[in-house]
Amino acid sequence: MFHSYELFALYSFLVYKYPNPILVGVLCGMGLHLILDQVGNRYLIKAFVISPWFYFFTFRAWGGFHKDWLRTPRKLS
Ligand SMILES: [Zn+2]
């Protein structure tokens, strides 16, 4: 659940409303973590590629959190 852009947006709004250096630091770390996960965690295992929408909580919930919804077989050529 914490790996979601929706939660990041909600947290960003809270930091905007209640600015605090610690909360801003957590926000920056969370944002960097999400970006690096989006770029670097494309493969759960070598046989599958995760969806580019994986880090949207609504996408995962829409598919019922089924692993076949979240990943596609990797084409080996
Ligand atoms: Zn992560």
**Residue ranges per structural domain of the chain:** 5-73
Query: 37 C-alpha to center of ligand 1: Å?
Result: 5
* Residues near ligand 1 ion, CB 5 Å cutoff: 37
Q: Which two tokens stand for residue 53?
A: 């929408």
Measured CA to CA, the distance from residue 22 to residue 47 in angstroms comes to: 40
Residues in the chain: 77
pLDDT value of position 1: 62
Provide mean pLDDT across the span 3-19: 95
Does residue 45 register a pLDDT over 80? no
What's the mean per-residue pLDDT of the chain?
Answer: 88
pTM of the predicted model, to two decimals? 0.78
Measured CA to CA, the distance from residue 31 to residue 24 in angstroms comes to: 10
